[in-house]
Amino acid sequence: MRAVAIGIIGLTLIGRVAAAEPGQAGAACQQALNALQSEWQAIGYPMPTKPAQAQVVAQDGRVATAGQVNYLRGQIQLAAKECEDGNTASALRRVAAVRSRLATPTTMAATSSSTQ
């Protein structure tokens, strides 16, 4: 009888932990996404004026093509949708991919020195 009671209590606790995990994962997803969105806003890429624009200069001096800016913006939007839908793993992969691309910025100084 005692073993049954301990087993029931154990299963109840496991169920509560399992039920808490999606919320924790969702919170981690949202936190990572919020940090990325803050970083994106701080960089300050404007919307490209033309789809094939060769240079889009951010407020912090980074340079990207219109395609790159649109791709990164799209990945952030997809990550937000996946976070909302509970697809945390995929959303966090997208966040990491965007952060990786943003970690190696191309600046106007780097661009102009490489073309000289």
Tokens of 90: 């995929």
Place of tokens 């780097």: 110
Q: Domain map of the chain by residue range?
A: 24-114
CA angle 37, 40, 41 (to 5 degrees): 90
Average pLDDT, stretch 1-16? 45
Q: For residue 45, what is the DSSP state?
A: P
The reported pLDDT for the residue numbered 24 is 76
Cβ neighbour number for residue 19 with a 10 Å cutoff: 9
Q: Tens digits of per-residue pLDDT, 37-92?
A: 999 999 999 999 988 899 999 999 999 999 999 999 999 999 999 999 999 999 99
Which residue pairs from 90-93 have beta carbons closer than 8 angstroms and sit at least 24 positions apart in sequence? 91/29, 91/32, 91/33, 92/28, 92/29, 92/32
> Greater confidence, 80 or 6?
80
pLDDT higher than 80, residue 17: no
